[in-house]
Amino acid sequence: MNALLDWLNKNLEGKDQFYHWYFELAFWCGCRPSEMIALRWSDIDWFNGTMRISKSRVRGVEKGVTKTHTVREVYLNDRSTRALKEIQKLKMSNDYVMICPETNKPFYGEETARNRLVDAMQACGIRHRPAYNARHTYATMLLMDGVNPVFVADQLGHSLQMLMKRYAKWMHGDKNKIEMAKLNTN
């Protein structure tokens, strides 16, 4: 994550610098790409430090629901807040947060942004991964740091059951090694 963000920051100029902040937000908020490109400035609550995730944008069509048909408040941390403020400084739109620098219109899909991340992966010698994995990175970072799984599930818009199914192996991190050491009674 850090290598990719550093490459994007150092190698994108002008309006393309937007993509650095796009992925900074993606890695630090856990939203699906379809949710990010549907995000409007009115969805940001600066006072409470949250984003209201209630819609998605797929193939140019805004849907009034998310993938799971749930509305959620995503809490912003320092890095996601900074990314939003930097995007806001670019003054690309008064409505949508994510405006494609090439077209100056809301994104049709997430392909354009994804291509920037693919460029960064190739330049950094990192094997290809879907841009969607930024969401998985966020979830695993939280869980490995011991954040309450119920909070993580809420942030991602998952049920606790779905979170456990997908991310259980990341929940204990190095704590599993400590527990296994207790079994070794040489």
Domain boundaries, the chain: 2-131
Q: Which residues of the chain have pLDDT under 50?
A: none
Q: What are the tens digits of pLDDT across the range 39-63?
A: 999 999 999 999 999 887 888 778 8
Instruction: Report the alpha-carbon distance of residue 81 to residue 117 in Å, rounded.
Output: 21
Q: What pLDDT shows up at residue 4?
A: 96
Q: What are the tens digits of pLDDT across the range 166-182?
A: 888 777 656 666 666 67
- Six token digits for residue 53: 């995730």
Q: What pLDDT shows up at residue 12?
A: 93
* pTM for this entry: 0.86
Rounded alpha-carbon distances, angstroms, from residue 181 to 171, 172, 174, 186: 18, 14, 11, 10
- Which one is the CATH code of 2-131: 1.20.120.530, 3.40.50.2000, 3.50.50.60, 1.10.443.10? 1.10.443.10
Q: What pLDDT shows up at residue 70?
A: 79
